[in-house]
Amino acid sequence: MKRLSQTALAGAVAISFAIGAIASAAYAEDTKMVGGAAMYPSKNIIQNAVNSKDHTTLVAAVKAAGLVDTLSGKGPFTVFAPTNAAFKKLPPGTVETLLKPENKDKLTKILTCHVVAADAMASAIKKMIKDDGGAHKIKTVGGCTLTAKLKGDKIEVIDEKGDVATVTIANVKQSNGVIHVVDTVLLPG
């Protein structure tokens, strides 16, 4: 009887370790916190962005522009994702005006100027900047040309108007690309 109890105990311990290993594997996913929410690499850009309290304006804009399906798609995409604070830097009333149905084309143009058809982690962007002598031109899916530079160890992205966005959180891996959080909305020229 004692041997049976020891075997049962050993089996229970083994099962506990197995369950713990499975749980650890689930939590081992390389998540980053953005806007108070974990961003899971197994989820796509939209599935993660909707959980960030810092990106509610961006999510509303993506919905108004009809880009949810696109950014949920296969990709790969690199998205320079402006925060709510970045949108607040725009002149008063700009966001409200852009969200109106009659301004969908303009909103789409602005949003797609934040999206690159590639999966570019910060290390790759930094290498391109260095290889190009300190400034790397980036063509977006919206037809804008952005310029990436380094300021210290931080990546800066300059839009066609000369406005500078700093990457504040880099390498937020997604199933269909990567998000780099920026502090300024990038605008077409």
Q: Provide the residue ranges of all domains of the chain, joining segments of one domain with +.
A: 1-30, 31-182
User: What confidence score (pLDDT) does residue 29 get?
Assistant: 63
pLDDT digits (tens, 9 = 90+) for 141-154: 999 999 999 999 99
User: What confidence score (pLDDT) does residue 154 get?
Assistant: 97
User: What confidence score (pLDDT) does residue 15 get?
Assistant: 46
pLDDT band at 22 (very low <50, low <70, confident <90, very high): very low
User: What confidence score (pLDDT) does residue 27 get?
Assistant: 45
Residues contacting 109, CB < 8 A, separation 6+: 142, 143, 188
DSSP conformation class of 40: P
Record: fold of 31-182 = FAS1 domain (2.30.180)
Q: How far apart are CA 166 and CA 147, in angstroms?
A: 12
What are the DSSP calls for 59-114, one per residue? Answer: HHHHHHHT-HHHHHSS--EEEEEE-HHHHHTSPTTHHHHHTSGGGHHHHHHHHHTT
- 62: phi then psi, degrees, rounded to nearest 5: -60, -40
pLDDT band at 19 (very low <50, low <70, confident <90, very high): very low
Q: In terms of residues, how long is the chain?
A: 189
Percent of the chain at pLDDT > 90 equals 84
pLDDT band at 30 (very low <50, low <70, confident <90, very high): confident
Residue type, 160: E
Q: In the predicted model, what is the mean pLDDT of the chain?
A: 88
Residue type, 57: T
Closest residue by Cα to residue 184 from 161, 160, 166 = 166
